[in-house]
Structure 1
Amino acid sequence: MARIKPQTLLLQSKKKKGPARISVTTIILCNLVVVLIVLSSVATYRHWSQRSINQAENGLPNNENAAAVMDSKKYELPSYAILNTSKGSITVELYKEASPEVVDNFLDLCQKGYFKGMLFRRVIKNYVVQAGDFQRLGAAEDWTLKGKPRTQLPISPRHEAFMLGTSKAKHDIKAFDLFITTAPIHDLNDKLIVFGRVVKGEDVVQEIEEVDTDDHYLPKSPIGIMNVVLKREV
Structure 2
Amino acid sequence: MKKLFTLCFILTATLALAKPPKNQYVRIKTAYGTVIIRLYNETPKHRDNFIKLTKAGFYNGTLFHRVIQNFMIQGGDPDSKKATPGQALGEGDVKYTIPAEFKDSLFHKRGVLAAARDNNPAKASSGCQFYIVEGKRVTDAKIDSLQQTRLKGYVVPEWQRAWYRSVGGTPQLDHGYTVYGEVVSGIDMVDRIAAVKTDKKDRPEQDVPMTVELLKKRECKQLDKLLGLEK
Verify same fold: TM over 0.5: yes
Where does residue 201 of structure 1 map in the other structure?
A: 186
- Does 1:92 find its partner at 2:71? no
Quote the Cα distance in structure 1 between the aligned partners of 2:212 and 2:184: 18
> Is 1:185 the counterpart of 2:198 in the alignment?
no
Residue identity over aligned pairs, in percent, reads 27
Equivalent residue for 1:116, pick from 60, 76, 85? 60
Whole-Å separation in 2 of the counterparts to 1:100 and 1:157: 13
Query: 2:107·2:171 contact (CA, 8 Å) conserved in 1?
Result: no
Deviation, 1:156, is: 7.3
Matches of 1:206 and 1:127, distance apart in 2: 10
How far is 1:56 from its partner? Answer: 6.2
* Contact 1:83–1:91 (CA under 8 A) maintained in structure 2: yes
What is the distance in 1 between the residues matched to 2:14 and 2:106? 40
TM-score, normalised to structure 1, is 0.56
SS in 2 for 1:223: coil
- More divergent stretch after superposition (222-231 vs 106-115): 222-231
Q: Which amino acid aligns with 2:187?
A: E
- Is residue 114 of structure 2 the alignment partner of residue 165 of structure 1? yes
Aligned 1:57-76 pairs, distance under 5 A: 59=18, 76=21
Cα offsets for 1:108-132 (capped at 9, x unmatched): 1111111111100100111110012
Question: What amino acid sits opposite 2:210 in the alignment?
Answer: I
Q: Give the distance between the partners of 1:199 and 1:76, measured in 2 at CA.
A: 16
2:74 to 96, 107, 130: 130
Question: Conserved in 1, the CA contact under 8 Å of 2:63 and 2:208?
Answer: yes
CA distance in 2, matches of 1:213, 1:224: 15
Q: Which residue of 2 aligns with 1:227?
A: 212
8 Å Cα contact 2:113/2:183 also seen in 1? yes
Rounded Cα–Cα distance in structure 2 between residues aligned with 1:226 and 1:83: 6
Q: Which runs of 5+ in 2 are unaligned?
A: 1-9, 78-88, 93-103, 118-122, 136-168, 224-231
- Backbone CA RMSD of aligned residues: 3.2
Q: Which runs of 5+ in 1 are unaligned?
A: 1-49, 61-74, 138-154
Question: What residue number does 2:51 align with?
Answer: 107
Q: Give the Cα–Cα distance (whole angstroms) in 2 for the partners of residues 118 and 135 of structure 1.
A: 11
Of residues 191, 196, 200 in structure 2, which corresponds to 1:215? 200
More helix by share: 1
TM-score, scaled relative to structure 2:
0.56
Question: CA separation in 1, counterparts of 2:16 and 2:200?
Answer: 54
Q: Cα 1:191–1:171, aligned 2, differ >3 Å: closer, same or farther?
A: closer
Alpha-carbon deviations, 1:83-106, whole Å to 9, x = none?
Answer: 112211101111112x11110111
Name the CA shift for 1:127/1:201 in 2 (closer, same or farther; >3 Å): same
Q: Is the 8 A contact 2:134 2:190 kept in 1?
A: yes
Change (3 A) 1:77 1:106: farther
